[in-house]
Structure 1
């Protein structure tokens, strides 16, 4: 079954093709990228870091 036209995967591949000179060791991992996201939540009551919340969410998508 072909992918839906709204699937983001081809867009991601297009972004990777724009930087063919990138060495895999230089490309940051998903957790590193998510760790740079600012946490807009109020610190009171936060039980989990934002990375712990975002990583499973990204995997689920």
Structure 2
């Protein structure tokens, strides 16, 4: 069975990995992307918003 969200996110992960390695030498940090449907939104960055409950791990500081 096809899983559209999983397929989409796997594609994004692979693309990020290739760009990170080829363009940035693998130095970019881990990332988290969420897709939302909001009219006329071109995207935004919310640093430090996602992480572990204890605060030990935080994405995109």
TM-score, normalised by the number of residues in structure 2: 0.30
Give the helix-richer structure, 1 or 2: 1
The structure showing larger relative contact order (alpha-carbon pairs under 8 Å, at least 6 residues apart) is: 1
Larger radius of gyration: 1
